[in-house]
């Protein structure tokens, strides 16, 4: 059943980012009101 939730073949695209770093980036943008382009280098960029 786990293959239904977590497929092994995601196909083409960017490599997966660390979930915690992505969440921190989202929270930083929401907290500061900044745009994605204003993310500091320490935070995940796409």
Is 2 inside any structural domain?
Answer: no
pLDDT tens profile 7-45: 666 667 778 788 888 898 899 899 999 998 888 777 665
Q: Is residue 35 part of a domain?
A: yes
Query: Does a structural domain hold residue 39?
Result: yes
Answer whether residue 8 is part of any domain.
no
| Domain extent at residue 36 | 14-46
- Count how many domains the chain has: 1
Residue 4 lies in a domain: no
Q: Would you state the pLDDT for residue 2? A: 57
- The reply to whether 36 falls in a domain is yes
Q: Per the domain annotation, does 21 fall within a domain?
A: yes
Comparing 38 with 5, the larger pLDDT belongs to 38
Element (H, E) at 2: helix 2-5
- The predicted model scores a pTM of 0.59
């Amino acid at each position: 059943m786990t293959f239904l939730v977590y497929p092994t073949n995601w196909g083409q695209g960017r490599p997966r980012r660390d979930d915690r770093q992505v969440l921190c980036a989202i929270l930083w943008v929401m907290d500061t009101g900044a745009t994605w382009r204003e993310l500091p280098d320490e935070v995940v960029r796409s």
